[in-house]
Protein backbone atom coordinates (compact mmCIF):
# COMPACT_ATOMS: atom_id res chain seq x y z
CA UNK A 1 0.00 0.00 0.00
CA UNK A 2 1.34 3.45 -0.93
CA UNK A 3 2.49 5.72 1.85
CA UNK A 4 4.08 8.64 -0.05
CA UNK A 5 2.17 11.89 -0.51
CA UNK A 6 2.29 14.53 -3.24
CA UNK A 7 1.51 18.12 -2.29
CA UNK A 8 -0.11 20.40 -4.85
CA UNK A 9 -0.76 24.13 -4.61
CA UNK A 10 -4.16 25.61 -5.46
CA UNK A 11 -4.53 29.21 -6.57
CA UNK A 12 -7.21 31.38 -8.14
CA UNK A 13 -4.65 34.12 -8.86
CA UNK A 14 -2.65 32.11 -11.40
CA UNK A 15 -3.64 31.57 -15.03
CA UNK A 16 -5.59 28.30 -14.97
CA UNK A 17 -4.97 27.35 -18.62
CA UNK A 18 -2.69 24.36 -19.26
CA UNK A 19 -3.23 24.09 -23.02
CA UNK A 20 -5.94 24.74 -25.56
CA UNK A 21 -7.35 23.55 -28.86
CA UNK A 22 -8.40 26.12 -31.46
CA UNK A 23 -10.72 25.86 -34.47
CA UNK A 24 -10.38 28.83 -36.82
CA UNK A 25 -12.17 30.07 -39.93
CA UNK A 26 -15.73 29.40 -38.78
CA UNK A 27 -18.06 31.16 -41.20
CA UNK A 28 -21.09 31.79 -38.99
CA UNK A 29 -22.93 30.75 -35.83
CA UNK A 30 -24.34 27.58 -37.34
CA UNK A 31 -20.83 26.48 -38.36
CA UNK A 32 -19.46 27.33 -34.93
CA UNK A 33 -22.16 25.36 -33.15
CA UNK A 34 -21.73 22.36 -35.43
CA UNK A 35 -18.05 22.39 -34.55
CA UNK A 36 -18.82 22.69 -30.82
CA UNK A 37 -21.13 19.68 -30.98
CA UNK A 38 -18.53 17.73 -32.97
CA UNK A 39 -15.93 18.54 -30.28
CA UNK A 40 -18.17 17.33 -27.46
CA UNK A 41 -18.95 14.15 -29.39
CA UNK A 42 -15.23 13.53 -29.91
CA UNK A 43 -14.57 14.12 -26.20
CA UNK A 44 -17.19 11.47 -25.48
CA UNK A 45 -15.31 9.07 -27.74
CA UNK A 46 -12.12 9.82 -25.77
CA UNK A 47 -13.81 9.25 -22.41
CA UNK A 48 -11.85 6.06 -21.72
CA UNK A 49 -8.55 7.97 -21.83
CA UNK A 50 -9.52 11.52 -20.80
CA UNK A 51 -12.49 11.20 -18.47
CA UNK A 52 -16.14 12.26 -18.37
CA UNK A 53 -17.18 15.82 -19.23
CA UNK A 54 -20.40 17.13 -17.69
CA UNK A 55 -21.99 20.35 -16.48
CA UNK A 56 -23.60 23.32 -18.18
CA UNK A 57 -22.38 25.65 -20.90
CA UNK A 58 -22.78 29.40 -20.46
CA UNK A 59 -24.41 30.89 -23.56
CA UNK A 60 -24.78 34.60 -24.37
CA UNK A 61 -28.08 35.43 -26.07
CA UNK A 62 -28.91 38.71 -27.81
CA UNK A 63 -31.68 40.27 -29.90
CA UNK A 64 -32.40 43.94 -30.62
CA UNK A 65 -29.89 45.15 -28.04
CA UNK A 66 -31.22 42.88 -25.29
CA UNK A 67 -28.36 40.73 -23.99
CA UNK A 68 -28.58 37.99 -21.39
CA UNK A 69 -26.88 34.72 -20.56
CA UNK A 70 -28.17 31.25 -19.72
CA UNK A 71 -26.69 27.97 -18.54
CA UNK A 72 -27.49 25.07 -20.86
CA UNK A 73 -26.81 21.42 -19.91
CA UNK A 74 -24.31 20.08 -22.43
CA UNK A 75 -26.63 17.16 -23.22
CA UNK A 76 -29.25 19.68 -24.45
CA UNK A 77 -27.03 22.05 -26.44
CA UNK A 78 -28.22 21.07 -29.92
CA UNK A 79 -31.91 21.34 -29.02
CA UNK A 80 -31.49 24.58 -27.08
CA UNK A 81 -29.49 26.18 -29.89
CA UNK A 82 -32.11 25.38 -32.51
CA UNK A 83 -34.87 26.68 -30.22
CA UNK A 84 -32.97 29.93 -29.70
CA UNK A 85 -32.50 30.44 -33.43
CA UNK A 86 -36.14 29.66 -34.15
CA UNK A 87 -37.08 32.24 -31.50
CA UNK A 88 -35.27 34.90 -33.53
CA UNK A 89 -32.21 35.42 -31.34
CA UNK A 90 -29.47 36.95 -33.48
CA UNK A 91 -26.58 36.08 -31.16
CA UNK A 92 -26.25 32.64 -29.56
CA UNK A 93 -22.64 32.37 -28.47
CA UNK A 94 -20.88 29.93 -26.12
CA UNK A 95 -19.02 31.80 -23.41
CA UNK A 96 -16.29 30.34 -21.21
CA UNK A 97 -17.61 28.52 -18.14
CA UNK A 98 -16.00 25.65 -16.20
CA UNK A 99 -17.18 22.25 -17.44
CA UNK A 100 -16.33 19.64 -14.78
CA UNK A 101 -14.25 16.64 -15.87
CA UNK A 102 -14.01 13.40 -13.92
CA UNK A 103 -10.54 13.18 -15.39
CA UNK A 104 -7.91 10.48 -15.22
CA UNK A 105 -4.59 11.36 -13.62
CA UNK A 106 -1.52 9.32 -12.80
CA UNK A 107 0.42 8.92 -9.56
CA UNK A 108 3.99 7.59 -9.22
CA UNK A 109 4.66 4.20 -7.63
CA UNK A 110 3.90 4.19 -3.92
CA UNK A 111 1.73 7.34 -3.98
CA UNK A 112 -2.01 7.14 -3.29
CA UNK A 113 -2.70 10.59 -1.82
CA UNK A 114 -2.48 14.18 -3.10
CA UNK A 115 -2.71 16.95 -0.50
CA UNK A 116 -4.12 20.29 -1.70
CA UNK A 117 -2.67 23.49 -0.21
CA UNK A 118 -4.08 26.97 -0.85
CA UNK A 119 -1.31 29.14 -2.23
CA UNK A 120 -3.18 32.41 -2.84
CA UNK A 121 -3.59 33.36 0.84
CA UNK A 122 -1.24 35.31 3.14
CA UNK A 123 -0.27 31.95 4.66
CA UNK A 124 -0.40 28.49 3.14
CA UNK A 125 -3.57 26.66 4.14
CA UNK A 126 -3.98 22.89 4.02
CA UNK A 127 -7.26 22.02 2.25
CA UNK A 128 -7.13 18.25 2.66
CA UNK A 129 -6.67 15.47 0.12
CA UNK A 130 -7.74 15.65 -3.50
CA UNK A 131 -10.77 13.41 -3.98
CA UNK A 132 -9.62 10.44 -6.04
CA UNK A 133 -10.98 7.01 -6.83
CA UNK A 134 -8.93 4.11 -8.25
CA UNK A 135 -9.23 3.64 -12.02
CA UNK A 136 -6.86 0.79 -12.89
CA UNK A 137 -5.42 0.64 -16.39
CA UNK A 138 -6.65 -2.28 -18.52
CA UNK A 139 -3.08 -3.62 -18.75
CA UNK A 140 0.24 -3.33 -16.89
CA UNK A 141 1.95 0.06 -16.75
CA UNK A 142 5.45 0.37 -18.22
CA UNK A 143 6.20 3.29 -15.88
CA UNK A 144 4.73 1.95 -12.64
CA UNK A 145 2.32 4.89 -12.47
CA UNK A 146 -1.19 4.09 -11.29
CA UNK A 147 -4.32 5.66 -12.76
CA UNK A 148 -6.93 7.49 -10.69
CA UNK A 149 -10.12 9.43 -11.41
CA UNK A 150 -10.72 12.89 -9.99
CA UNK A 151 -13.92 13.92 -8.24
CA UNK A 152 -15.35 17.28 -7.19
CA UNK A 153 -15.05 18.10 -3.50
CA UNK A 154 -18.36 18.16 -1.54
CA UNK A 155 -20.17 21.44 -2.17
CA UNK A 156 -17.74 22.37 -4.98
CA UNK A 157 -18.83 21.82 -8.58
CA UNK A 158 -15.36 22.60 -9.95
CA UNK A 159 -13.15 19.56 -10.46
CA UNK A 160 -9.32 19.56 -10.33
CA UNK A 161 -9.32 19.57 -14.14
CA UNK A 162 -11.99 21.43 -16.11
CA UNK A 163 -12.73 22.70 -19.62
CA UNK A 164 -13.91 26.04 -20.98
CA UNK A 165 -15.48 26.45 -24.43
CA UNK A 166 -15.65 29.96 -25.92
CA UNK A 167 -16.81 31.13 -29.32
CA UNK A 168 -15.97 34.34 -31.15
CA UNK A 169 -17.22 35.75 -34.46
CA UNK A 170 -15.62 39.15 -34.99
CA UNK A 171 -13.18 41.00 -37.22
CA UNK A 172 -10.38 39.69 -35.00
CA UNK A 173 -11.33 36.02 -34.86
CA UNK A 174 -13.91 33.55 -36.13
CA UNK A 175 -13.07 30.67 -33.88
CA UNK A 176 -13.99 28.21 -31.18
CA UNK A 177 -11.51 27.70 -28.33
CA UNK A 178 -11.37 24.83 -25.87
CA UNK A 179 -9.23 25.59 -22.83
CA UNK A 180 -7.97 22.76 -20.60
CA UNK A 181 -7.64 24.25 -17.13
CA UNK A 182 -6.71 23.55 -13.53
CA UNK A 183 -6.30 25.78 -10.47
CA UNK A 184 -3.73 23.28 -9.18
CA UNK A 185 -0.04 23.14 -10.05
CA UNK A 186 -0.26 19.33 -10.10
CA UNK A 187 -0.07 19.33 -13.93
CA UNK A 188 2.66 21.99 -14.26
CA UNK A 189 6.42 21.40 -14.53
CA UNK A 190 6.97 24.39 -12.19
CA UNK A 191 5.17 24.99 -8.89
CA UNK A 192 3.28 28.23 -8.32
CA UNK A 193 6.15 29.23 -6.03
CA UNK A 194 8.62 28.85 -8.89
CA UNK A 195 10.41 25.68 -7.76
CA UNK A 196 10.49 22.60 -10.04
CA UNK A 197 7.60 20.19 -9.66
CA UNK A 198 7.94 16.43 -9.31
CA UNK A 199 8.06 14.07 -12.32
CA UNK A 200 4.34 13.35 -11.92
CA UNK A 201 3.56 16.82 -13.33
CA UNK A 202 5.29 16.23 -16.65
CA UNK A 203 3.86 12.70 -16.89
CA UNK A 204 0.30 14.02 -16.49
CA UNK A 205 0.84 17.04 -18.74
CA UNK A 206 2.16 14.81 -21.51
CA UNK A 207 -0.93 12.64 -21.14
CA UNK A 208 -3.18 15.69 -21.52
CA UNK A 209 -1.26 16.79 -24.60
CA UNK A 210 -1.57 13.34 -26.17
CA UNK A 211 -5.34 13.22 -25.59
CA UNK A 212 -5.91 16.77 -26.85
CA UNK A 213 -3.73 16.08 -29.90
CA UNK A 214 -6.07 13.20 -30.74
CA UNK A 215 -9.05 15.51 -30.27
CA UNK A 216 -7.51 18.13 -32.55
CA UNK A 217 -6.76 15.51 -35.21
CA UNK A 218 -10.31 14.14 -35.14
CA UNK A 219 -11.95 17.57 -35.36
CA UNK A 220 -9.50 19.50 -37.58
CA UNK A 221 -8.33 21.70 -34.73
CA UNK A 222 -4.97 23.11 -33.67
CA UNK A 223 -3.30 22.19 -30.38
CA UNK A 224 -1.86 25.25 -28.61
CA UNK A 225 0.60 24.35 -25.79
CA UNK A 226 1.12 26.64 -22.81
CA UNK A 227 3.50 24.64 -20.58
CA UNK A 228 6.81 23.12 -21.76
CA UNK A 229 7.02 19.35 -22.17
CA UNK A 230 10.80 19.09 -21.96
CA UNK A 231 11.39 20.17 -18.34
CA UNK A 232 10.58 18.97 -14.86
CA UNK A 233 12.22 17.31 -11.95
Note the pLDDT tens digit of each residue in 156-215: 778 999 999 999 999 899 999 999 999 999 999 999 999 999 999 999 999 999 999 999
Inside any domain, residue 1: no
pLDDT at residue 233, rounded to an integer: 39
Phi, psi angles (nearest 5°) of residue 18 = -100, -40
Mean pLDDT of the chain: 92
Question: Does 2 fall in a domain?
Answer: no
Q: Which residue has the higher pLDDT, 232 or 45?
A: 45
Residue 20 covered by a domain: yes
Residue 181: inside a domain, yes or no?
A: yes
Measured between alpha carbons, how far is 190 from 192 in angstroms, rounded to an integer?
Answer: 7
pLDDT band at 155 (very low <50, low <70, confident <90, very high): low
Q: Full-prediction pTM beyond 0.75?
A: yes
Encode pLDDT of 10-60 as tens digits. Answer: 999 999 999 999 999 999 999 999 999 999 999 999 999 999 999 999 999
CB 199 within 8 A of CB 109: no
Q: Would 12 be classed as within a structural domain?
A: yes
User: Which of 185, 158, 142, 160 has the alpha carbon at shortest distance from 15?
Assistant: 185
- The total number of structural domains in the chain stands at 1
Mean pLDDT of 75-81: 97
Q: What is the pLDDT of residue 231?
A: 54
Residue 155 backbone zone (phi > 0: left; psi -120 to 50: alpha; other: beta): left
Q: Is residue 142 part of a domain?
A: yes
What is the pLDDT at residue 64? 85
Q: Which domain holds residue 196?
A: 7-225
Is residue 47 in some structural domain? yes
Amino acid sequence: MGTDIIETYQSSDEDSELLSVLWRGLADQDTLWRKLLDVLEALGQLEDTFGTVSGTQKVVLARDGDVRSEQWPIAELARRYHQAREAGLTTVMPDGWPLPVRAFLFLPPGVERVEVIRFDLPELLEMGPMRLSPAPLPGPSDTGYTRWRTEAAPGDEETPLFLELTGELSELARALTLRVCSRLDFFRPSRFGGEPNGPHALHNLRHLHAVMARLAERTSGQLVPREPLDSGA
